[in-house]
Every structure is written in C-alpha cells, then in structure tokens.
Amino acid sequence: MKQHLASLPDIAAPETGELISVYLSVAEEAISAVLTIERNTAQVPVYFFSKTLKLAETKYPPLEKLALALVQTARRLRRYFQAHPIQVVTDQPVKNVLEKPENSGRLAKWAVELGEHNITYVPRKAIKAQVLADFLVEVPNQTIDEVNTATTEPFNPEAWKLFTDGASSVEGSGAGLVLINPEGLEFTYVLRFDFQTTNNEAEYEALIAGLRLAKEMKVQKLEVFIDSLLVSSQVNDSYIAKEPNMRRYKEKSKELMNTFQTCNVKQIPRSQNKKADALSKLASLTFAHLTKKVLVEVLKAPSIDELEVQDVVTEKDPNWMTPIKKFLQSGELPNDQVEAERVKIKGRQYVLQGETLYKKGYLAPLQRCVGPEQSKYLIKKIHEGVCGAHFGARSVVAKLMNLRYFWPSMHRDTTEQLKKCDACQIHAPILKNPKHDLVPITSAWPFHKWGIVTPHPDKDAPYTIDTNLPVNTYFIDTNGNVQKLET
C-alpha cells in the first residue's frame, strides 16, 4: 500500500497563460480526459475527468463520443479552458467533425459552445509520461479500432452534395433531387416523366437531371449520393451495363460527370436518402400541391434520346465583348493606352462566368451580354416573332432589358432594324404630305399688282362698269410672275 501511494502521479498547478494539453479517451459506456502541462521535458497531469454515458449517448459514433468528451471536459473544467490556451492532442479528425458547415443539431451546438475557447488541434506524438500511457491503455482495444476505422468522408469546403432518387409505378414515374451547397442551403427539385420507365431508368433519369442542374449552377466539385446499387456500380465501372438502354444511360451520365472538376458517385442506404425518396414518390403519383414549394419540371422524352439542335446564331469575333473578356480572363489590354484605360473602367461593370459575359446591375440581376448577330436575332424575335405585335423601338428595348439582355447600342440598333421591317412599312398610317418638296416663289409679295374695276350707276341698271376708265389687266405666267396684258 505504501509503495502504491508513493508511486501515485503528482498533480501540478498550471501558471497563468501556460499551455495545457488535453488527451481524450472513449470507451463503450464512458468517456474520459486528462489535462497535462510540460515541466522539465516531462508531461505532468493537472486534472483527470471521466463520465459515464447515458443510454442514448452510448449509441453515438466513436468520433462523436470524442467530441462529447471534449465538450464535457470544457464544461467541467471551465476555469482552465478560459484562463489558458488549450491544445487537444488526438489522431482522430475531431476538428473536421465539429467544424463541418452542414452540421446541425448537437454537433452545431457543441461547435458554438467550444468556439469561445482558444482551442487548437495537434496530432499525437510520443507520450512522455507513464501515467498517460496507463490512462490510454485503459481504453478497450475494440473502441480504438472503431475510432481508427471510422468511415469519415474527407471534408471538402467547396464540394456540393447531390441526393437523387427515382420512382416508377403504375400511376407514373418521377424523380426527386436535393442539392446542398457548401453553406448548407438546400435546393429541392421534382421531375415528372411523361413516358414509361423502369425503376433503374428512373434512377438514371434522376441522376442525369441532377448533374445537369449542378452544371447549370456552375458547380465545380460535386458529391453525388444515390441509393441504387446498380446505378452507382455501373457509373463507377464496378458493374457492366449489358442492356442497350443501360449502356446509353451510363454513357450520358459519364459524359456529364466529366464536365465537373471532381465528381464522385456514392451508394448510400435508403434511410439516408429520405428527402429525395419522398419527393420522387410524390412526383410519381401527383405533384399539383408541390408547385408552390419546390421546382417542378416535366420531361416529355428520355434524356438519352438525341435531339437535333441547330446553331441558329453564330457570333463572329472580334466584337465589342472581346477586349472585356480578355481583360477579365487574363488581364490582357489593348496596345492603345487610351483604349486600355477605357477597357479597365468598363471591365469593372462586367463579370465573366465561364465563357458568358454578364453586366452588373445596381439593384437588378446580372444582364447577359450578346454580340451583333445575337442582338439582331433577339430584336427580330421580339418584334415579329410568334408573340410579337410589331412593337416600337422603346417597347422592344424594354422587353429586352426585362429579359436580362444587354449590349451598348441597344436603342440605336433597335431603331435602325425596325425601320427595315416590311410589315411595318406596309401597314403604317398613310401620310398626306406631298410626295415632292414645294417649289419656293421668287417674288416676295405674289400678286401685289391688280387691275381696278370701279362700279358706276346707269339708267338701266343700279350698277354698271365704266369701261372708259383706264383698267390694267394682268395674268399669271407659268414662272410665277405677274405680267401685264396688252389691250
């Protein structure tokens, strides 16, 4: 007994601001921790802590148990955590588990609670104290193996998550998509198929639709989760697609996956894909009540059917967008110094997404920039298209801006192009202006000389003309001058 009491470890008191190291340990029904400081190249314990887990806590994964051990230690030994910098020594990814942006529930609460302390995480090195070795040996080997072999997904802060699921029944077929950005914001999407599909084809349609949606949203890194073992295995080349339709679906999926910087497809249990599964089942039956809450799309044909697409408008380079694109892509400027300064100033008003140029707005969304050929096509379609009513230039420009299109000479180009519209010229109001310009008269006062006729009373009539009076008669010549008629 005396030897045992004499060999007990000494407990040291840390000095103000001294670094404290924390070692964590988990068992099947208990968690524990030890605080140490380094004195004379040796680790001296400061405080031991242990806690028996409740029934619900025993079902936590091993990594969450480690996080719980750290949280409980911070609560119990709050005075040490607030007065000293804390260094957590562990070989497990506890930091990644606590700092994942998509965390919710208890993990999010634990992360906020630990955020008030100055905590850093370092990998475990050689243990310098026999008491720590004894402490860590007390952990069951089975639990250590569970922690070391725990399947934790490598966290990529830039990766998006896509959950897809397809459903096919007698009433119809549909698919549900859930796209989650790195900040944890969810986008739900529902598709209804107006054609007959099998369950595997519906799963493929959901996968292809999700990949297209992510591509349109300019996603670069994508993690896809699907509960179909067949589809995930075929896409990952684990299974061979023998049926012609399956091969075509696989090729289409691989083609879309190659457009991303990184794209991985993983198979998960249906219990982890409940949202997408519920959306797909609702879409296969009826989705009239979903249109106000989620985006709904109806597919008329399978995605593997090749569509004949014709490039209606091909833009010719260079155009007004070329110098701005070069400046935004690589910082290249024109050789002319004045033009270079102009491009620098204009470049601040634009943003480049992929190969498409957009103009920034103050209180409006981005406006897509178009070239001369595309602008002519847009003006023609809005002015005299299927729903066109041959509007005037101002109305056409207003509609173009409402559709978020832009190019610098919108008003001038629209006015010039509408002047050449044949229908507008034929049905335009008839103007009653003379066809030719009027000929000016050379005389300042035309017809200023007139003959004088004086009435004179007579016996037979109340009035008569005295022909004896000198009367000068004039007539109008063809040149507009007034000439005297000789009598």
Per-residue pLDDT of the chain in tens (487 residues, 90 and over written 9) = 666 556 666 677 888 888 988 888 888 888 888 888 888 777 788 888 888 888 888 888 888 888 889 999 999 888 888 888 999 988 788 887 787 766 667 888 888 888 888 888 888 766 555 455 445 544 444 444 444 444 444 445 578 999 988 877 777 778 888 888 887 888 888 888 877 888 888 888 889 988 988 888 888 889 999 888 888 888 888 888 888 888 898 999 999 999 898 899 998 887 788 777 777 776 665 555 554 555 556 666 676 666 555 555 667 778 888 999 888 888 888 888 899 889 988 888 898 887 889 998 877 788 999 998 889 999 998 988 877 788 888 999 999 999 899 999 999 999 999 988 888 888 877 777 777 777 776 655 555 555 444 555 555 545 444 444 454 544 445 555 555 545 4
**Six-digit token string for 57:** 């806590």
Same domain, yes or no: 166 and 206: yes
- Specify whether 13 is located in the same domain as 124: yes
153: in domain: no
Answer for the pair 225, 268: CB distance below 8 angstroms, yes or no: yes
Is the domain of 239 the same as that of 326?
no
pLDDT score, position 370: 92
Q: Is residue 231 domain-shared with residue 345, that is, in the same domain?
A: no
One domain for residues 325 and 269: no
Identify the pLDDT of residue 456. Answer: 52
Q: Are residues 21 and 74 in the same domain?
A: yes
Residues in Cβ contact with 350 at an 8 Å cutoff, skipping those fewer than 6 apart: 324, 328, 357, 358, 359, 360, 369
Same-domain pairing of 265 and 325: no
CA–CA distance, 182 with 413 (Å, rounded to integer): 43
How far apart CA 376 and CA 414 sit, in angstroms, is 8
CA nearest 320: which of 348, 341, 347, 338?
347
CA 176 to CA 190: how far, in whole Å?
Answer: 5
Q: What is the pLDDT of residue 410?
A: 92
Which amino acid would we find at residue 90? T
Q: Are residues 77 and 169 in the same domain?
A: no
Check whether residue 31 and residue 117 sit in a common domain: yes
Q: What is the pLDDT of residue 277?
A: 75
In this structure, which amino acid lies at residue 115? G
293 and 169 share one domain = yes
Q: Judge whether 310 lies within some domain.
A: no
pLDDT for res 303 = 66
Residue 143: predicted pLDDT: 46
Alpha carbon distance 474, 480 (integer Å) = 12
The CA distance from 165 to 159, in Å, is 20
Q: What is the DSSP letter of 309?
A: -
Query: What six digits make up the tokens of 339?
Result: 């033009």
Q: Which amino acid is at 485?
A: L
What is the distance between the alpha carbons of residues 344 and 333, in angstroms, rounded to a whole number? 8
- 390 with 334, same domain? yes
**Domain tally for the chain?**
3
Residue 16 near residue 83 (C-beta atoms within 8 A): yes
The verdict on residue 216 lying in a domain is yes
What does the buried/exposed string (b/e) look like for 212-228 if buried means 16 or more CB atoms within 10 Å of the residue's CB?
ebbeeeebebbbbbbbb
Domain holding 256, by residue range, is: 160-299
Q: What is the pLDDT of residue 150?
A: 41
Q: Dihedral of CA 323/329/335/340: which sign? A: positive
Q: What pLDDT sits at residue 457?
A: 54
E strands present in 14-133: 20-26, 30-39, 42-52, 86-89, 119-122
Is residue 235 included in any domain, yes or no?
A: yes
pLDDT value of position 413:
93
Longest CA–CA span in the chain (Å) reads: 176
Of 330, 378, 335, which is closest to residue 352 (Cα–Cα)?
Answer: 330
